[in-house]
Structures are given as C-alpha cells and as structure tokens.
Amino acid sequence: MDKQPRTLTPEQMAKMKKMGKFFGWIFGILLVVGLLFLLTFNWITDYIWLDNLGFGSVFTTILGSKMTLIGVGFVLFFIASFLTLQWIRSSYINHFHESQLPPFLAEKKLSRLIIVGTSLFVGILGSSVVQGLGWEPLLKFLQHEKFGITDPHFNMDISFYMFVLPFLEFIVYLILTLAILALLTVIGAYSVFHMYRLSKRAQLHIGVTIGLVGLMVAAIHFLQPYHTLLSNQVNIFQTSVVYGLSYTDELINIPKAYILAGVAIIAAVWTIISLYRGRIKSAIIPIAAYVVVLIVGQGASMIVQSFVVSPNEFQRESPYLERNLEFTRAAYDLDEIKEEEHPGNYSLDEAMVERNSLTIDNIRINDSRPLLDIYNQIQTFRTYYRFNDIDIDRYEIDGDYQQVFIGARELSTEDLPEQAQTWVNRNLRYTHGYGIAMSHVNEITSQGQPQYLQRNIPVEGTIDVTRPQIYFGEEEYNDVIVNTKVDEFDYPSGDENVSTRYEEEAGIQLTGLNRLLFAIDQGSFRFLVSDQLDSESRLLKTRNIMDRVQKIAPFFEYDSDPYIFIRDDGSLAWMMDVYLIAENYPYSEQFSGDSNYIRNSVKVVVDAYTGEVDFYIVEPDEPLVKTYQTIFPDLFTEEIPEDVQRHFRYPETLFKVQSEMYGTYHMSNLEVFYNREDFWQFATENYFDSDVVIEPYYITMKLPEYEEEEFILMVPYTPRNRQNMIAWMGVRNDGEHYGELFVYTFPKQRNIYGPQQIENRINQDSTISQQLNLWSQGGSEVIRGNLIAIPIEDTIMYVEPIYIESSNETSLPEVKQIIVAYEDHIVMETTLERAMESLFELMDPDAGTPPATDDGDSEELPEDEDSMPSIPLEGAEMILEQFSTLFDDYQEALSSGDWEEAGRIMAEIEEILATME
C-alpha cells in the first residue's frame, strides 16, 4: 500500500513562514552589515594606521566633512530627483486617464517604488561626487584665516578669493548641475505625446526648471566681477597685458556681468510666467535677449580692447599694471628681496683666495648625476641594495663647515635571487636597508673617484651613525612584520649574514582583531596562520615615505626629492618639503595652470627606523598654514629641534618658481615692466654635450657683507636672447637667516661673462678642445659636468669638472680634469688646486721669473721646466702623436679589464699634460 504524502498543518505552515521571515531578516541584516563592512573596510584600516601614528584626528576631521557632504549631497540629489519625477508623474496622471498610461505610471505603488529607487540611486551618485569635490573647500570656508591684505577695487580680503569664493562657486555650480539634469529629464519626459504643448502642469514644470537654471546663471554672473581680478582674459578672444583687473574689465566687463545677472533673473521670471500662461513662443524672447546681451557684451569688450586700450595701452593700463606688479611679488614672497649691485671686478688674487678658503674648499667638483652610478657600483656590495638618489647637504665635520653628497643604501627585495623570493624573506627577514654613503663635494681620489666621508657596511666614517637600519625610504617597499620569531637580516659580512631584532615599539600590533583586519588588507592568509608571528609582532605599513605622508595629509603638495640626514643622536631621518599652493590670489600671474600662490611653510621629517612623522611649521604667520592649523590642530609641531633645523634646505622647486617670476617682476619702472625691456632668464650651460638651462644649485660661500661662509642656493641670470650674466639670485639656508632671498646685479655698461659664453670659450680653446677630442677617441665618453659660477667678494669665477667614462658596461665615470675660468683666462688641470695655481700664473706671468741681479747685468737665464709656459707649436704634432698612441693603449687596457695597466698609462698621460703646462 502506497504511503500518502504528508501534508503540513496550518500551524506548521505559519511556523515555517515565521521562521523563514526571521531567517530572511537575519540574512538581510548580515548582507547589509557585510556591504557596510566592505564599503568602510579601508576607512577602518586607515584609521587604525593613522591613529597608531598619532594622526587619528586628521582622519576623523576629513571623514566628518566627507560624511556631512555625503548627507547633504544625498538629501539634495534625492529630493531634487524625487520632486522632478513625482511632478512628471503627476502631470501625466492629471492629463491622461489611467487606462491610457503604462503600469509604471498608472499604478501608484509601482510608480512610487520606481521613483524612490531612482531617487536613491541619483542621491548616492550625487553624494559621492559632492564629498569628493567639496570636503576641502568646505573646511577652508568654515575655518579660514584672514590674510590682512585687501584688494584695491572691491576692498575684499585675499581670503575671500581663496576660501569663500571657491566654496560659493561650488554651491552655485552644484545647484546648476542639478537644475540642468532636471531640465534635460523634464524636456525628455514632456516631449512624449507633446505634453509641453498640452499640459499646464508640464509647462509650469519646464518653466520653473528653466527659471532655476536662470537664477544660477545669474548667480554666476554676480560672482564674475571678482574673477576679473584673477585672470588676464578680457573676452573670449583677447587677453590683457595685466594679470588681474584691467581697463576693459573695469569699463565693460564688470558692468556687463551685473547687467547679464539682471537679464538672467528677468529671463527666469519671464519664462516661468510665459510657460504658465501657455505662451511657449514668448518664453524664447528673454532667452534670446540674454544671448543678445551676452554677444553685445563680448563685442563691446573687443571694441574697447582693440580701439581704446591697444592704441594707448600703457597709459590705459598703468594703474592696473602697478597692482599686478605689487600683488604678484607678494604672492611669490618677492616683495622683500634685498637687491644690491655687484661690481663684477677682476680683482681675484691669492690674498682673496686665502680670505675665502672655505668657499674654495667647498667648490663642487663632483656631480650628483654621474655620482649616483658610482655609488651604485662601489657602495652597494650586494645586488639587493640600491641608492635611489644622491643629495647635497652640509655638516660640521672636525670643526669645519663642509658641503657633502649623501645617499641612502636601501633594500630592494625585488632584486633578491629568485630562490630567495619567499614569503618569509620578503615579509619577515629582509626588512630594511643599511646605512649611508657620504663623500666630499670637492675631493676626489687619484683615480677620479669620490673621496668618502662615510662608506662601507658596517658604516665607517667621521660621523657616528648609531642606527643605520633604514626601514622607511624612497624605495617601493612592501609592508613587513617585525618582532617575529624570525631574526631579520641586517647586513652581509663576508660569507655570512649578520642578523638583528627590531628595537622600537613602532608599527601596528598584530593581536586580536587587528590581525584579522590586516590579513584581509594584505590579502594574505599567512598573516592568520603563520606560526612565526606572536603577540609582540608588529606591522610596518606604508614604508615608502612619499606614500606615507600623502596618506596622512593628502591636501599638501610634496617635493619629489626627499633627502636623508644624520641627527645628533646618530639616527637617520628623511626631510621633505611641503608646498602650500593656491589659486585665486588677486592680480597675481599664474606659474602653473591656475596656481598663482606658493609657500614652503611646512617641513616633514620621517624617521628612517621608526617611520615616525613630524610636520614642522616653518612660517607660523603664513595665512594658509594657519588655516590648515585651525582645521587640523593635531597635525603640526611648532617646536623644531635644532638638529633638524640645521639641515633645512630651501627647496629648489620653490626657488625655481620664485626666480623665474623675479626675472619679470624685478622691474619696478612701470614702462620698463610693460615692455619687458629688462627681462631676465636662466643662463644655459653645456652639460653632457648638449646645451641645457642651468638648474638652481647649492654652494658654500661668504656673502660680501658677512664674515662667515654659509649654504646658499643660487641661479645666474642672463638678459633675454643674450649670453652675458646680468645678475644672480640666491637664498640663504642657515640659522635665523633661512629663507632670505637676495639678488646681486652686475653693471649693464660692460660685459660680465655668462655661463654659456664660458662654455663657448672652452670649446674654442685649442689646447682644451684637442685634449677632450683625444679622450673621446676609441669609444670613451667625455662628460661635461655642471658649470658652476662662484661669486667671491666683488668678483666671480667658474669651475667645471670633466668626467671620462669608457665604453665598458661596468666602467665608472671618473673626474679627470677641472676647468677653471676667470676673466679672459681658462685653465684645465687634474685638480682644483693645480688649476688655481695655473690660473694665477696666467694672470701674472712675471710672478715666477727670477729677480734681476744687483749689478744690472741682463744675462739671459736658461729656461727650465718650471718656467716654461707652454710647448712650442712646432712640437705639437709629435705630442699629439704620442697622446694618440698612449690613449689607444689606455683603451685596449680598459677593454681587456687590465685596470692596473690602464691606471699606469693614464698617469703617464697626466704627467705629460702637467709638463706641457
């Protein structure tokens, strides 16, 4: 007998439904929690990391402003979408019978669901856009500081243009975007069945939407007069010579903006009334009137600019040019530059050299670009070490102020042997680089290699480095875990490796929930299951210093060239420059895009061992940094340690922007400024066999009115399309004088040799060019280093190193000759000391001749080797043939790898050169 299927009783059915509903709620809740977790996961891990560094409040401030804008944006977009769609449905329902409409409009429940769902989607989309664009303008608007400087036309503080105006425009353009999206939706919806002709509700809806667009356009025009102070654009086709308010702006563009704002408001009201009354054609009239006024305004601007301003431009624009000059100088901190005349005398003598011995001793005869290759070949020792950059700094060494090159020896796990590319090695064992290399800027070995102050592994040198391990640096580091059961690799020692343990409490402790969260964050299951980790293990996260500071303070611009330095306690740290860049500084010319204001008010120091980050305020009175300090009070440190301040360098990027601007804005005479008659540009030099613009460079020198040498960043100027030096600009780097800009101008009535003129004279010097051509034979490359102008008291000299690099792939560039140029004299020697001696012999050729005898006899003395000034011309061919033979032998020795023989031959060549001179 077949069994009857069992049926459920009503009570059982009800119970199962209840359970299904319960589990449905549980599943729904878990789904929502899961989605929220995925959406906020990065926020959670970022907050833990930032809070561990002491910057949790920075994260919560930014997040709070974003959440506020998310809420406001969502509500705004949701309400706008809901009202628009609801009005459209209402228009259709009132005009058609329900039977004539599709279900998604006719059925109230379904249509409401669609409207709410669409509005939610638009609200979410809009909120993400609003928070992404608006969080920083919102915070600056709410908590900005005054500049204490007002523009002379509207009498508004600079802060209005920088902080208030951008936020107002953000609000206006946000509403305008909403209105345009609504208008497009409305036009599309009411085009069906010609609703815009048949329905009063539809016509009113279109009218109200167009009216809102008109009001926002009016608001834009109302704000437009303020923009005349921020641009040199007077109409769509023409620009003014003035950055900021111009004659045409004041006469035409500002009144035009107010007229257009009024027309837009009238057009908005007119359109609403016309469409409400069903007069569709008459609604076009105000729109057409607005377009006509807009075109007429542009035409009036073009007429005034072309026929009133251009024929007498200087007279018309003079008052505005003066403002442009004044405000641009203020925006780039050029208004207090100390400008003095430099006589450009030819007064160099041995006494002057003796008085400025520290300047001479710090002349840079090495170059950082070839030096990077040398460091990477000589001072890495293993394939997994790498120097990413060589920087210049200064130290007090054995009581002497010395300029040095310095580089960090970082670890690249990508360069580990393939068999060593294991999870343990990459994440637990090979965790850090080791030490630095440091060399003199002015000393080389007999082989032309740098003379090291710090070198090797372990670090040997004149400065104590007590903590050489580099866990944080410029390398693209992966995250690592320290304090594990695996000892860390410290450095190689012969055939063995020395190990170490991490000695600080930095990093995120991997216990409890942290371990789970960061296992997910790293995408590594081993974080959870590895028995090498324990309760003391810590995660060192975001070890690339650029990524590190950008995650902490993403609202700053950072210099791309951080540099390492040694602190007084022997630890290593990185210094980074922060740029506070802004737009909308009235009357100021832009240096990049719309940016026309720049400061270096903040320095960042990152400890190379712990990763600790400090943001030091350098200019506490600067309004932009005060604004950020108000917004993020826990971000900054005002007390700067002395050993950090000693290594402040004025950033090259900022100095380059300022010096480029000063090339134009140094002119104080308005007519000269208008005609750009005295425009200065950066000098050029011959570098690596090509002419390039000279980059600003650091030197150690004594300023004429001071007693001690100091670290100076400088750049030489030449007039436009000329090669003589017209001036040089510098900035002080040491102590209380940090950041003081100054300019020395040369006499305009006589020629002061510029760098390119010196380069041309070097090329035209028959002796030097012959020697350089000789070295370049056989595949070797002659590398012309940086030509450095050295101001000394009331005169100036030039120094340029010459590198030789053979064609061998493993060869190193070597400094083989030093060229010194002064006045009309150029010498080339193997060392700077010899070059200076030869220079003085040329300047005073009688200095080496013996005095006359007492009896007045004029007996001619035989010339010895020391007194012979040069090789006779008739012997030149024989000398060149000898050089050619020796150089062929030198190339052959290099190609065969016989370094000892190559060195012997080069020494013989140098001896012959010395004899010639």
Is the model more confident about 409 or about 784? 409
347 in any annotated domain: no
Residues 250, 388 within the same domain = no
Distance of alpha carbon 387 from alpha carbon 474, whole angstroms: 9
Residue 17 one-letter amino acid: K
Contact in structure between 317 and 248 (CB atoms under 8 Å): no
Q: What range does the domain containing 500 cover?
A: 363-583
Token pair listed for 386: 């790498």
Distance of alpha carbon 551 from alpha carbon 472, whole angstroms: 15
Distance of alpha carbon 654 from alpha carbon 617, whole angstroms: 16
Residues 575, 439 within the same domain = yes
Distance of alpha carbon 483 from alpha carbon 502, whole angstroms: 6
Residue 878 has what pLDDT? 55
- Which of 583, 600, 617 is the last residue before a domain boundary? 583
Residue 90 has what pLDDT? 82
Range in 22-31, 107-116, 467-476, 756-765 with the lowest mean pLDDT: 22-31
Q: What pTM was estimated for this model as a whole?
A: 0.85
Compute the average pLDDT of residues 470-484.
93
- pLDDT at position 854 over 70: no
- pLDDT at position 727 over 50: yes
pLDDT digits (tens, 9 = 90+) for 496-508: 899 999 998 999 9
| φ/ψ bin of 843: left (φ > 0), alpha (ψ from -120 to 50), beta (otherwise) | alpha
Residue indicated by tokens 């004899």 = 915
Range among 7-21, 79-93, 209-223, 510-524 with highest mean pLDDT value? 209-223
Residues 296, 391 within the same domain = no
Residues 445, 578 within the same domain = yes
578 in any annotated domain: yes
Residue 95 has what pLDDT? 74
- 3-state SS string over 699-742? EEECCCCCCCCEEEEEEEEEECCCCCCCEEEEEECCHHHCCCEE
pLDDT digits (tens, 9 = 90+) for 615-648: 999 999 999 999 999 999 999 998 999 999 999 9
Residues 399, 467 within the same domain = yes
- What residues contact 774, with CB distance under 8 A and at least 6 apart? 880, 883, 884, 887
Distance of alpha carbon 604 from alpha carbon 615, whole angstroms: 5
- Which of 288, 309, 330 is the last residue before a domain boundary? 309
Of the pLDDT bands very low, low, confident and very high (cuts 50, 70, 90), residue 866 is very low
- pLDDT at position 117 over 50: yes
423 in any annotated domain: yes
Is the model more confident about 775 or about 436? 436
501 in any annotated domain: yes
pLDDT digits (tens, 9 = 90+) for 60-101: 999 999 889 889 999 999 999 999 998 888 888 877 767 677
Residues 424, 508 within the same domain = yes
Percent of the chain with pLDDT over 90: 57
Residue 717 has what pLDDT? 96
Whole-number Cα distances in Å, 183 to 100, 191, 221, 294: 25, 12, 20, 22
- pLDDT at position 768 over 50: yes
What single DSSP character describes residue 309? I
Contact in structure between 725 and 759 (CB atoms under 8 Å): no
Contact in structure between 387 and 379 (CB atoms under 8 Å): yes
Residues 480, 400 within the same domain = yes
| H or E element that contains 397 | strand 391-397
426 in any annotated domain: yes
Residues 413, 289 within the same domain = no
Pick the closest to residue 892 from 808, 816, 824 (CA basis). Answer: 808
Of the pLDDT bands very low, low, confident and very high (cuts 50, 70, 90), residue 3 is low
pLDDT digits (tens, 9 = 90+) for 167-202: 999 999 999 999 999 999 998 888 877 776 777 888
Compute the average pLDDT of residues 584-594.
94
What is the bridge-based pairing of β-strands 400-411 and 391-397?
Answer: antiparallel
Contact in structure between 799 and 731 (CB atoms under 8 Å): no
Burial class for 586, CB neighbours closer than 10 Å (0-12, 13-18, 19+)? buried
Residues 424, 562 within the same domain = yes
Residue 277 has what pLDDT? 78
- 3-state SS string over 149-165? CECCCCCCEHHHHHHHH
Residues 241, 375 within the same domain = no
553 in any annotated domain: yes
246 in any annotated domain: yes
Rg of the chain taking only CA atoms, in angstroms: 37
- Which of 268, 290, 309 is the last residue before a domain boundary? 309
pLDDT digits (tens, 9 = 90+) for 796-851: 999 999 988 877 766 788 888 999 999 989 999 999 999 999 999 988 776 544 34
Residue 468 has what pLDDT? 95
Of the pLDDT bands very low, low, confident and very high (cuts 50, 70, 90), residue 31 is confident
Of the pLDDT bands very low, low, confident and very high (cuts 50, 70, 90), residue 455 is very high
Q: How far apart are the first and last CA of the chain?
A: 127
Of the pLDDT bands very low, low, confident and very high (cuts 50, 70, 90), residue 748 is confident
Whole-number Cα distances in Å, 35 to 28, 29, 45, 128: 10, 10, 16, 16
Token pair listed for 573: 């740290």
Residue 57 has what pLDDT? 94
Residue indicated by tokens 């007194």 = 867
Mean pLDDT taken over the chain: 87
15 in any annotated domain: no
Compute the average pLDDT of residues 588-592.
94
Tally the domains of the chain. Answer: 2
- pLDDT at position 733 over 90: yes
